Copies of this chain bind each other. A is one copy, B any other.
Amino acid sequence: MTPDLSVAVGALKLRGPVLAASGTFGYGTEVPLLERRSLGAMVSKGIFLRPREGTAPPRIAETPGGMLNAIGLQGPGADALVRDYAPQWADWDFPVLVNINGESASEYGELAARLDGVPGIAGFEINISCPNVEQGGLYFGNDPRAAAAVTEAVRRRTKLPVWVKLTPMVSDIGVIARAVETAGADALCAINTFVGMSIDLNSYLPRLSFRTGGLSGPAIRPLAVHLAHQAARAVRIPVIGIGGIARAEDALEFLVAGCSAVQVGTATFVNPNAIAEVHDGISAFLESRGLTSLADLPRYLPRD
């Protein structure tokens, strides 16, 4: 008997614990060959209220076991999203959440309001790794009050599930986690990319035109497992683990460390079937251990 891999993330029921991470699966429409049968949910590419061009190339650079990206949240804006993509999502057999971004708490709220109730949109993932333009460009995600303000602004404008995606470059992720839990988040996603830089020795300049970029891929996995675990210890709401997952064993590390589900990002670039393979691998693992459902997986989650 195949083990039961369904999970509930708050009110949202998912057929499996392996989700597509924002910015690594486009709008789900790009690649017909991407295997979707076992996708738990998809988080769409990060979007702002208005269209954005994104940053100048080069936008990516390879690093040992990882990659840096500075896409600059290129996207068509809310209206085009509603017009071009949401109608397609409405027909799919898994939920699509929209990764939302803003330059101020009120802009996040406005965006949520614009998208709320649109058929095909099952919830929101708030990306708080954006610079807070009103506060001199500090990331929302570094400041518990700013993170909570964004969460509240979105929470007030929608009844749909609200997930908050945490920034890793903080000295205590538990503080931010608790702040956004209190502000009304239904789940946490941990984590977004780490800020990194790589230098081109021909030009003596950063490889990326934006100078810095976000590091993703297997290189960050041990850091991500730690941070997701710390977040899970700090809150009662579900935590979705993200960072460097390429194989079932990687996903299982996050699940054992206290996560309810996981998202796969960069691995999809390398292997368009990564999500299906991770899903199937988790199933095989549970079977090999005689477990009939994901809920029976032993967890390591000491509470402080």
Closest chain B residue, CB of each to CB of A169: B171
In the complex, what's the smallest C-beta–C-beta distance from A19 to chain B, in angstroms? Answer: 20
The interface bits of chain A over 201-223 (1 if a CB of B lies within 8 angstroms of the residue's CB, else 0) are: 10011100000100101111111
Q: Once the chains bind, are B199 and A252 in contact (CB under 8 Å)? A: yes
Min Cβ gap A216→B in Å is 11
| Contact of A204 with B299 in the complex, beta carbons under 8 Å | yes
Q: Which residue of B lies closest to A212 (CB)?
A: B226
Q: State the majority secondary structure of interface residues on A.
A: mixed
Q: A85 an interface residue at 8 Å Cβ cutoff? A: no
What chain B residues lie within 8 Å of A222 (beta carbons)? 61, 63, 66, 68, 196-198, 215
Interface readout for A233-257 with B: 1 if CB under 8 Å, 0 if not? 0000000000010000100110011
B-chain residues with CB within 8 Å of residue A300 when the two chains form the complex: 199, 204-206
B253-A199 in contact (CB<8A): yes
Residues from chain B with a CB closer than 8 A to the CB of A82 are none
Contact present for B63 and A221 (CB under 8 Å): yes
Task: Report B-chain residues with C-beta under 8 Å of the C-beta of A220.
Answer: 219
* A65 on interface, CB distance cutoff 8 Å: yes
| Contact status A219-B253, CB under 8 Å | no
CB of A74 to closest CB in B, whole Å:
22
A197: contacting residue among B171, B212, B225, CB under 8 A: B225
Task: List the B side residues contacting A223 at CB < 8 Å.
Answer: 194-196, 215
In the bound complex, residues from chain B placing their C-beta under 8 Å from that of A285 are: 201
Apart from the given pairs A64-B221, A169-B169, A212-B226, 15 other A-B contacts in the complex at a CB distance below 8 Å: A63-B221, A64-B219, A66-B222, A68-B222, A142-B172, A171-B171, A196-B222, A198-B221, A199-B253, A199-B256, A199-B300, A201-B256, A204-B256, A204-B299, A219-B219
